[in-house]
Chains A and B, each alone.
Chain A
């Protein structure tokens, strides 16, 4: 199955004349889908209805443009969390309604910094808020039922986006299920339904949409979090970035691309890239305001090609870290734990743990949750040798009856990868010692032969 490679475009912020060239340019970059965030605040009318048919807010015109460009469609309904949208995308009347607000213990509204302004957080458990959000999601789902039946709509995403302050609330997950239920009632197919969540707590069933951690989290933490999330939720949809909102730490293109390469090597098959085309409070989109590709866009073409070239199939071994959350949140894991968001672990150093986990000794390969999976001993025989130790991140996947080793060089120098103790390369080209060299940042796919594993 082809990977889902989507670029996020806020069509309503572009003039109508730019829609087609922009979508064509993204298709030329290897994207096979467009991810449309539809902002509740933009479409909401004062009388409680929704404008989905006028000017740049015309949903039918958007669908027509996507169809004409030969792309699939991903729709983000919110209702909260689009980073560059005022008020998180929630209408001002809803945000200011005391019945919809999350409250502190003293009864004040909980505020969050959103798009450079303090915004009252909506309460996912509030009946009034749920009712309002449900009406918006239902209105959209009703209009998208037909495109879903014809295969144009591949994802319909609800939820509060990547705001970590909300994802630890059980009521947030419950809101996601509540909104998905309303979309289901309007006839959207189950395969298209998705809800935002976090890598640490993917949804049980359904597609989880999670934001990739920022580059400074470190490659080890990123790899472990992604591998753990994919083991729990193989259909994970990851939000990657090109650039970022102005009120967040800026990132260089090479660093966000490294995150993307790492995610693909870890097995992500479905992703959206924020932001495909400039036009709102975001810097570093792939296309500029004129619709011309910026220099990093060409490298995304290579990344999209890499996504298509990587083998997919049964993961033979999953390296499940004992506590992925601690790595991902390092260095603030303990802080969050103390704040009551996560149980703290006494002692230890999350950063050092993550580094130590690179060695085969420190991170035993565990048996996949599959009764027919090979034994742990057999899997350990497959685990490759990496020189210098820890320079490359690896996994093994079985596709079309063949074994493939996927390796990512995460170091600044060259890394050598050799087959495990009882495995060997299937084809020639290896050095005399059986090691192959990967350049910095490179992803390698190697075909393995191992009679021991198939026993």
Chain B
């Protein structure tokens, strides 16, 4: 996991912005002069502070909002819908302090990032159960949090110690952004961006189907062995991150996304994803056929098979489904990343 001592190299502000907004478009940089135009845009995030008899409601685009429709944390979803927002947090007064208090009381010196993360999530879940905290979307409601050991094992499986992982995204015939993680001594020791990658590879052609071999060879020559590398166009990955089960498998099959080398966990994940996609389609079809009673008793057996296939996913392997979680969040987001730097500002002041 990235720690304060991790060396981060080779990102300019633009390439870092592209990488972050790929998975978190709501964090896109906003120009100072554009603040007033954002007030009318849909989306954004809602923050409600409440106690028994009053509430304060703030919206990331619109500022303070009236709270006349507020009916308590159980009505957060309806309240957020009223303000055209799909992301919301409601906190009882004092809950934030209680959260930090609980985390501080449980942390030990030397706890790693995974332990801290599970402790924060655990304390947040407790507050949610007590009615002091409500989140929208409801993340994993009713599902137990994965223990730290599961997260750590999943991380070990994805990027073993002493290995490297690479992501290179292309756009307009050039390297758009990149992320190379080097794991040593149990933590991510180096994070490299596109500048650092290009220093190792030299100029690239801009086509992931050809450039992936050059990048792989350059990384293998200067860094620990590459566990896996993902090469694609930015637009393809952006669409896949919001996609349906099976899209990743399809993209791999038609070489819209290249993975080299292909790690076993990813092969299983994408295979299961394809199977799950097929299962979703089968269940839809069966639903229609059952409604018309066309298949009779045979339909129950078919449905059982489809359900089994649908359950075979990455959750069984890692303990949770990170891509599924991300896709569900991104599908809700209406924010689009600020794709381009608005360009150069005025160079010299006009002087009278």
Q: Interface code A301-312, partner B: CB below 8 Å = 1, 0 otherwise?
A: 010011001100
A220 interface residue per 8 A CB criterion: yes
B110 CB to closest chain A CB (Å) equals 10
Apart from A218-B35, A254-B343, A442-B350: 6 A-B pairs, beta carbons within 8 A = A96-B109, A255-B30, A289-B10, A331-B60, A350-B64, A351-B64
Known: A109-B104, A253-B14. A330 touches B345 (CB 8 A): no
Stretch of B1-9, B250-258, B284-292 that contacts chain A:
B1-9
Q: Is the CB of A243 within 8 A of B12?
A: yes
Residues of B within 8 A of A421 (CB): none
Chain A residue at minimal CB-CB distance from B1: A116
Number of B interface residues in the complex (CB < 8 A): 67
A281 interface residue per 8 A CB criterion: yes
Chain A residue at minimal CB-CB distance from B104: A108
A296 interface residue per 8 A CB criterion: yes
B59 interface neighbour in A218, A283, A331, A352, Cβ under 8 Å:
A331
Q: Is the CB of A335 within 8 A of B58?
A: yes
Q: Is the CB of B32 within 8 A of A352?
A: no
Q: Is the CB of A249 within 8 A of B27?
A: yes
Most buried by A among B56, B103, B191: B56
B347 interface residue per 8 A CB criterion: yes
User: In the complex, A259 Cα to B39 Cα: how many Å?
Assistant: 20
Stretch of A143-151, A192-200, A444-452 that contacts chain B:
A444-452
Chain B residue at minimal CB-CB distance from A295: B12
Residues of A within 8 A of B109 (CB): 96
Residues of B within 8 A of A242 (CB): 13
Stretch of A173-181, A228-236, A315-323, A433-441 that contacts chain B:
A433-441
Chain B residue at minimal CB-CB distance from A241: B13
B31 interface residue per 8 A CB criterion: yes
Q: Is the CB of B12 within 8 A of A118?
A: no
Residues of A within 8 A of B349 (CB): 306, 309-310, 442-445
Instruction: Point out residues on B near A: beta carbons under 8 Å.
Output: 2-14, 16-17, 20-21, 27, 29-36, 39, 47, 49, 56, 58-60, 62-64, 93, 96-97, 100-101, 103-105, 107, 109, 113, 116, 120, 191, 193, 195-196, 199, 338, 341-352
B176 CB to closest chain A CB (Å) equals 15
A351 interface neighbour in B2, B30, B62, Cβ under 8 Å:
B62
User: In the complex, A404 Cα to B12 Cα: how many Å?
Assistant: 37
User: In the complex, A306 Cα to B351 Cα: how many Å?
Assistant: 11
User: In the complex, A310 Cα to B349 Cα: how many Å?
Assistant: 9
User: In the complex, A335 Cα to B63 Cα: how many Å?
Assistant: 11
Most buried by B among A249, A425, A447: A249
Residues of A within 8 A of B6 (CB): 281
Instruction: Point out residues on A near B: beta carbons under 8 Å.
Output: 84-87, 96, 104-106, 108-111, 114-118, 120, 215-222, 242-244, 246, 249-259, 261-262, 278, 280-284, 288-290, 294-296, 299, 302, 305-306, 309-310, 330-332, 334-335, 338-339, 348-352, 355, 410-412, 425-427, 429-430, 436, 438-447
User: In the complex, A251 Cα to B16 Cα: how many Å?
Assistant: 9
A91 CB to closest chain B CB (Å) equals 13
A261 interface neighbour in B27, B64, B343, B345, Cβ under 8 Å:
B345
Q: Is the CB of B32 within 8 A of A219?
A: yes
Q: Is the CB of B352 within 8 A of A444?
A: yes
User: In the complex, A294 Cα to B27 Cα: how many Å?
Assistant: 23
Most buried by A among B2, B49, B104, B107: B104
Q: Is the CB of B343 within 8 A of A281?
A: no
A-B contact count (CB 8 A): 224
Residues of B within 8 A of A331 (CB): 58-60, 62-64
Q: Is the CB of A429 within 8 A of B352?
A: yes
Q: Is the CB of A116 within 8 A of B3?
A: yes
User: In the complex, A255 Cα to B32 Cα: how many Å?
Assistant: 7
Please list the 7 inter-chain residue pairs (A to B) with the smallest Cβ-Cβ separation, ordered nearest first: A284-B13, A218-B35, A351-B63, A86-B4, A108-B104, A219-B32, A216-B30
Q: Is the CB of A85 within 8 A of B29?
A: no
Known: A118-B103, A258-B32. A252 touches B342 (CB 8 A): yes
User: In the complex, A115 Cα to B1 Cα: how many Å?
Assistant: 13
Residues of B within 8 A of A302 (CB): 345-348
Q: Is the CB of B101 within 8 A of A106?
A: yes
User: In the complex, A442 Cα to B350 Cα: how many Å?
Assistant: 8
Q: Is the CB of A85 within 8 A of B36?
A: no
User: In the complex, A7 Cα to B118 Cα: how many Å?
Assistant: 39
Residues of A within 8 A of B193 (CB): 283
Residues of A within 8 A of B21 (CB): 250
Q: Is the CB of A445 within 8 A of B29?
A: no
Residues of B within 8 A of A355 (CB): 36
Q: Is the CB of B346 within 8 A of A215?
A: no
A305 interface neighbour in B12, B105, B348, Cβ under 8 Å:
B348
Q: Is the CB of B352 within 8 A of A445?
A: yes
Known: A246-B8, A257-B345, A284-B11. A217 touches B35 (CB 8 A): yes
Chain B residue at minimal CB-CB distance from A106: B101
